[in-house]
Amino acid sequence: MKPSERLLSLDVFRGITIMGMILVNNPGTWSAIYPQLEHAEWHGCTFTDLIFPFFLFIVGVAISYSLSKRKAQGGDMKSLYLNIFRRTIILFGLGLILAGFPFGLLFGHEFSWSTIRIPGVLQRIAIVYMIASILFLTTNTKFQYWFTGAILIIYTMLMSLVPVPEVGYANFEPGTNLSAWIDRLVLGNHLWSGTKLWDPEGVLSTIPAIGSAMLGIFTGNLLRSEKDPTTKTVWLYVLGSVLMVAGWGWSFWFPLNKNIWTSSYVLWTAGLALNFLAFCYWFIDVKKVTWWIKPFQVYGMNAITVFFLSGIVGRIMYMVKWNGADGSVVTIKSYLFDNFFLSWLEPINASLAWAVVYILIWLGLMWILYAKKIFIKV
């Protein structure tokens, strides 16, 4: 394929990743989940912990393709930067809407601007996208290599050597590490409600997350090069394996950890992403084995849209409530789950089945948009 051609494997990879996000974010019940469909309790890396860094890696690959094409067309750079800032603001705003919806206006929802969560998945994507895009446009590749290495090393040094105020020593433990302290200092009450002590998409840990996107940019540069497809595939596998080994080795000092987005976690997950993209690239773009890709392509072409809307609908199903015959509180979700899934499946399988059906429902809706060639670009 020509370097300028659309990378179908990237659309498929994006679609698989978004499906994974919806799968792990929407179990039938949080009390019955297969271990790999939950985040690691602290240190460690499950299937669920791969999804977000995979998406940031994909963002980086897409930056390499889209912005290099815009630069080559010789368009107005001012309008290009304005478009980057516009997209950043929209993504961040959508994240805030997800965090606050329905803002106390419906379903008896309790809401306060004083405690709304400011960080989040879409907010981190927005910030990482903006910084990585500006770096791609304003610096050369050599600087980008040095920058990526530097932020991962400096972050490791900060987390492992700087004594945490009020604690007195450096550590990687929940709530007492440097990243958590900075989250409380900067964000105050605007933290994830699950802990109120730190945010998994917090301030300091966003810095190494930029590295996840930069490694995606380097991958995009390789795929856009004039190398033949076989050579590209081999390099993807080799570099992916090198990153995995490097991440594994680094983890003995700075453990794999999504909550604080450790440097070892960046390399480990990027290495896995490279290997998976190599697989997709070889079979989809090179060998043209595409009979199986359509559902993932449908998801991948409206990725942010389906992520956002599935999150909003998921919240509504929790919020609409009524009293059952026995006086218990019933929600739309609990009614559907109890009657159509839990009534004939074991809890853990019912929980998984709910998530799979939810994915399929959104696949049908996104297929309508795909068939009408409606692609909502954020």
Q: Give the confidence band of 113 by pLDDT, cuts at 50, 70, 90.
A: very high
Helix axes 229-250, 263-280, angle to 10 degrees: 160
Determine the Cα–Cα distance for residues 164 and 176; give it in Å rounded to an integer: 7
The predicted pLDDT at position 75 comes to: 66
Count Cβ neighbours within 10 Å for each residue of 165-200 and write b for 16 or more, e otherwise: eeeeebbbebebbbbbbbbbeebeebbbeeeeebbb
Among 37, 32, 13, 369, smallest CA distance to 220 is for 13
| pLDDT tops 70 at residue 245 | yes
Which residues on neighbouring strands pair with residue 323, listed in sequence order? Answer: 329
Question: Which band of pLDDT confidence, cut at 50, 70 and 90, is reported for residue 72?
Answer: confident
Query: Which three-class secondary structure state does DSSP give residue 111?
Result: coil
Q: In whole angstroms, what is the distance from residue 369 CA to residue 132 CA?
A: 30
Task: Give CA–CA dist 351/172, Å, rounded.
Answer: 32
- Residue-wise pLDDT for 331-356, tens only, equals 999 999 999 999 999 999 999 999 99
**Chain-centre distance of CA 27, in angstroms?**
18
At 193 the pLDDT is 85
- Pick from 103-112, 215-224, 246-255: least confident: 103-112
Nearest one of 194, 320, 273 to 14, comparing CA atoms: 273
Find out whether 66 and 139 touch, Cβ atoms under 8 Å. no
Q: What pTM value is reported for the model? A: 0.96
Residue 329 is inside which H or E element, if any?
A: strand 329-331
Average confidence (pLDDT) over 135-146: 96
Query: Residue 4: pLDDT above 70?
Result: no
| Mean pLDDT for the chain overall | 95
Residue 240, pLDDT above cutoff 90: yes
CA–CA distances in Å: residue 370 to residues 290, 297, 308: 17, 9, 17
Q: What is the pLDDT of residue 196?
A: 83
Confidence of residue 326 (pLDDT cuts 50, 70, 90): confident
CA 244 to chain centre: 19
pLDDT at position 268: 98
**Can you give the pLDDT at residue 2?**
53
**For residue 83, what pLDDT is reported?**
93
Q: Where are the domains of the chain?
A: 1-25+292-378, 39-288
pLDDT tens digits for 287-313?
999 999 999 999 999 999 999 999 999
Q: Minimal CA–CA distance to 124: which of 180, 194, 208?
A: 208
Distance of CA 84 to the CA centre of its chain: 19
Give the mean pLDDT of 147-175.
97
> What's phi and psi for 329, nearest 5 deg?
-80, 130
pLDDT in tens, 266-292: 999 999 999 999 999 999 999 999 999
pLDDT band at 5 (very low <50, low <70, confident <90, very high): low
The residue-averaged pLDDT of 168-179 equals 96
Residue 135 and residue 84: Cα distance in Å, rounded?
A: 12
pLDDT, mean of residues 101-105: 89
Q: What one-character DSSP code corresponds to residue 323?
A: E
Give the pLDDT band (50/70/90) at residue 121. very high
User: Residue 363 pLDDT > 80, yes or no?
Assistant: yes
Q: 326 is written with which tokens?
A: 């026995």
Report the DSSP beta bridge partners of residue 201: none
